């Protein structure tokens, strides 16, 4: 009892400690000076109530939990559901269903929603790419955003200086990101675990800072703007075509609709995601995919079997980077503007969160997690300053209820019949 009392006391103490500086103090502009003022009495009462609530909750948690469990008419999820949802066959159908919905949906949705969906697609691609590196090969990469930046800037710079279009730049962006992955991989992959994470983090930052300081080429902090949107076999989606080109709506004799451009970009993103999914699925069935997983499990055993760990790691790193490059190219096309601000560490963290949230190695999980992770901050935008708080608490709840991720990876196996 005394242990619980102590726990309850300190938990309760934490509430005013945290709430006082955040909610209790307000900065107010008085003339040209800032002044610190206390909050309204109501706020104080709320904090006091929360403190008391926390104390009671911690003290009686055990009893409350027992009461909760014994309360009857709660709808329960059948026990087999989790197992069923993570089964590879279910996931395959799940992905197919999602793809179908995703294909039809933009023609009925609003322009803003489609634009947001394009962003989600980009993150799905990033998540799938990082999933190779982190989920399958087990290399914790915190600088993944660096390759994303390389892809985006490749398109932006080639478009700016050489006037190349999206379709030419897409493979080049992938190849450039792969090249960077390969070059950075060489020195990095001698390291393991935490050390690898720190060094990749450093590389991600180096790329971003390089982009910011190479002002002559990359435009520095201002970035590069006016990036062209992709065309459909030379047909642009603009209202008026530039010289020597034709517009989409004139060619097909349709009325001009601004959302066509957005839908087209979305469909490209969807196509790229499907391509990514297909490629990764193929790779997983090939020996290289199994080698990645074996390497994650036991490096020494891999060496004992005559595999070359460096080569396998490098292939995972390079391939993961390639998909980031594609995603970056798409991002540049969607945004029309790239600047180093878009490639900060928080992006890496979000992508990593997508992979972990989805369940390491699971593809449907990564897709769902990307949707949740990108959609949530948008949906909670009305709560403005509290939305990161909501986001954080959702992550905590998530880790309590499904610590292995939304839909963890499952291998085919037989059930023992009794």
Partner 1 sequence: MLCFANVSTFYGKIQALHDVSLDVRQGEIVTLIGANGAGKSTLLMTLCGTPRAASGSIRFEGEELVGQPTCDIMRKAIAVVPEGRRIFARLTVEENLAMGAFFGSKTEHEEQLDKVLQLFPRLQERYRQRGGTMSGGEQQMLAIGRALMSKPRLLLLDEPSLGLAPIIIQQIFEIIEQLRTDSVTVFLVEQNANRALKLADRGYVLENGHIVMQGSGEELLHDSKVRDAYLGA
Which residues are at the interface with partner 1 (CB under 8 A)? 287, 290-291, 293-294, 296-298, 300-308, 411-414
Q: Name which of 174 and 185 has its Cβ closer to partner 1.
A: 185
Q: Name which of 346 and 414 has its Cβ closer to partner 1.
A: 414
**d(C-alpha 386, C-alpha 79), whole Å:** 35
Q: Name which of 56 and 305 has its Cβ closer to partner 1.
A: 305
**d(C-alpha 201, C-alpha 407), whole Å:** 27
Q: Name which of 355 and 370 has its Cβ closer to partner 1.
A: 355
Q: Name which of 403 and 412 has its Cβ closer to partner 1.
A: 412
Q: How far is the CB of 77 from partner 1 (least distance, A)?
A: 25
Q: How far is the CB of 412 from partner 1 (least distance, A)?
A: 7
Tell me 30's DSSP state.
Answer: E
Inter-residue contact 151 to 328 (CB < 8 Å): yes
Q: How far is the CB of 216 from partner 1 (least distance, A)?
A: 44
Q: Name which of 63 and 411 has its Cβ closer to partner 1.
A: 411
DSSP one-letter string for 90-141: HHHHHHHHHHHHHHHGGGTS-HHHHHHHHHHHHHHHHHHHHIIIIIIS----
Q: How far is the CB of 338 from partner 1 (least distance, A)?
A: 39
User: Tokens representing 80?
Assistant: 């087999």
Q: How far is the CB of 311 from partner 1 (least distance, A)?
A: 8
Provide the β-strand partners of residue 263: none
**d(C-alpha 48, C-alpha 317), whole Å:** 52
Q: How far is the CB of 297 from partner 1 (least distance, A)?
A: 4
Q: Name which of 69 and 414 has its Cβ closer to partner 1.
A: 414
Q: Name which of 11 and 281 has its Cβ closer to partner 1.
A: 281
Q: Which residue has the tokens 């708080």?
A: 389
The number of residues in the chain equals: 418
DSSP one-letter string for 219-253: -GGG-EE-PPPP-BTTEE-SSSPPTT-EEHHHHTT
Inter-residue contact 204 to 143 (CB < 8 Å): yes
Locate the DSSP E strands across 171-233: 224-225
Q: How far is the CB of 406 from partner 1 (least distance, A)?
A: 19
Residue 222, by phi and psi: left (phi above 0), alpha (psi -120 to 50) or beta?
alpha
Q: Which residue has the tokens 């720190």?
A: 198
Q: How far is the CB of 362 from partner 1 (least distance, A)?
A: 13
Q: Name which of 222 and 308 has its Cβ closer to partner 1.
A: 308
CB burial class (10 A; 0-12, 13-18, 19+) of residue 374? Answer: buried
CA 394 to chain centre: 15
Q: How far is the CB of 301 from partner 1 (least distance, A)?
A: 4
């Amino acid at each position: 009892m005394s242990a619980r009392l102590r726990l309850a006391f300190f938990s309760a103490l934490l509430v005013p400690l945290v709430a006082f500086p955040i909610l209790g103090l307000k900065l107010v502009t008085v003339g040209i000076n800032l002044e610190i003022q206390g909050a309204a009495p109501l706020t104080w009462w709320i904090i006091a109530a929360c403190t008391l609530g926390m104390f009671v909750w911690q003290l009686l948690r055990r009893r409350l939990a027992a009461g909760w469990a014994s309360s009857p008419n709660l709808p329960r999820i059948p026990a087999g559901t989790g197992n069923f949802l993570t089964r590879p066959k279910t996931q395959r159908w799940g992905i197919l269903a999602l793809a179908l919905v995703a294909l039809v949906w933009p023609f009925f949705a609003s322009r803003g929603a489609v634009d947001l969906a394009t962003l989600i697609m980009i993150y799905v691609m990033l998540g799938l790419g990082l999933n190779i590196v982190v989920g399958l090969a087990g290399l914790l990469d915190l600088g993944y955003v660096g390759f994303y930046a390389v892809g985006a800037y490749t398109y932006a710079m080639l478009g700016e200086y050489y006037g190349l279009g999206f379709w030419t730049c897409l493979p080049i962006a992938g190849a450039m990101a792969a090249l960077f992955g390969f070059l950075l991989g060489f020195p990095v992959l001698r390291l393991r675990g935490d050390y690898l994470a720190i060094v990749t983090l450093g590389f991600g930052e180096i790329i971003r800072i390089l982009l910011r300081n190479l002002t002559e080429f990359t435009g520095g902090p201002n970035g590069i703007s006016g990036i062209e949107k992709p065309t459909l076999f030379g047909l642009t989606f603009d209202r008026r075509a530039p010289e020597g080109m034709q517009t989409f709506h004139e060619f097909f004799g349709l009325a001009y609709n601004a959302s066509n451009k957005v839908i087209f970009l979305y469909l490209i993103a969807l196509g790229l995601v499907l391509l990514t999914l297909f490629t990764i699925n193929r790779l997983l069935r090939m020996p290289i995919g199994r080698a990645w997983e074996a390497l994650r499990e036991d490096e020494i055993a891999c060496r004992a079997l005559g595999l070359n760990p460096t080569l396998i790691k490098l292939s995972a790193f390079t391939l993961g980077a390639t998909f980031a490059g594609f995603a970056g190219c798409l991002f540049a096309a969607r945004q029309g503007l790239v600047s180093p601000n878009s490639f900060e560490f928080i992006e890496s963290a979000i992508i990593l969160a997508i992979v972990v949230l989805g369940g390491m190695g699971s593809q449907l999980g990564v897709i769902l997690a990307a949707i949740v992770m990108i959609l949530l901050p948008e949906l909670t935008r009305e709560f403005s300053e509290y939305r990161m708080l909501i986001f954080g608490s959702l992550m905590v709840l998530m880790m309590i209820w499904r610590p292995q991720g939304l839909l963890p990876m499952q291998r085919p196996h037989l059930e023992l019949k009794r």
